[in-house]
Amino acid sequence: MSDSSKNVLKRLIGGNKDSRATTDELQGLLLQIVFALLMIFIIAYFIFVTETKKTEEAQVLDLNRQKLVLALEKTAENRRIRYGLNALMVQGTDGKRIFDADAHISKGRIDLAPAARTAFSTGSKAAFSDYADVSKLQEAWYDEVLKSAEIEKLSELEVEWLKNEIAERVETVRLDARGVQRALAARLQSALIENPGELGAIQNANALAEAIKAKSLDMVEKAIEAEVLP
């Protein structure tokens, strides 16, 4: 506060009885007081607006995240159906999906029910085709998730989060599909080890192991009429 303003204030409160504040001095002091109060109000208002906006953005982000999580789960389930996994895998007591390969092997051969064989064969072909281009597959997931979540636009933070989640789930579904195929091959390998005569006369242990592995994968491919995932 300037010296003149201090003097005016002193005269107003009786600090200097010999002097009286002029009208101009009073108006000037009042304008300063009003301006100071106005600045305080403006600062408080902008702080309130900023905090309110942050709260609203956080609420929108949280709501979008919930929608996206549900959409991701739905998309992953759709892919498992597409790859024929639901026809073979069951949900365990812990909530995880399990596959009992022994239930589908009989006398050293894959023995699937007609409906399960058709679903798994068609699904294996679809999986091999989809995973031939993972980047394109992830883009398809992205579009499907947004459509399912009914969200038109995401923030940069949400886009980054969603792409990471999609990459993780795409790999999880791939491992599920590959796991079923490899589990069947593993059971067939056990049968081939007990009866290696089908492979011919192979004396070298390493060569025999490789022959059993190759033969089991070939048997899986013939059974499902599709290539196995690498």
d(CA 228, CA 121): 10
Phi, psi of 229 (to 5 degrees): -70, 140
Q: What's the Cα-to-Cα distance from 97 to each of 67, 120, 173, 179, 225, rounded to whole Å? A: 23, 16, 11, 11, 24
pLDDT tens-place values along the chain, 230 residues long: 555 555 555 555 554 444 444 666 666 667 777 777 778 777 766 665 565 565 555 554 577 889 999 999 999 999 999 999 988 887 777 777 788 898 888 888 899 889 989 999 999 999 999 999 999 999 999 999 999 999 888 889 899 999 999 999 999 999 999 999 999 999 999 888 887 777 777 777 788 888 889 889 999 999 888 899 98
For residue range 152-170, list pLDDT tens digits in order.
888 898 999 999 999 999 9
Number of CB atoms found within 10 A of residue 155's CB? 12
d(CA 64, CA 230): 35
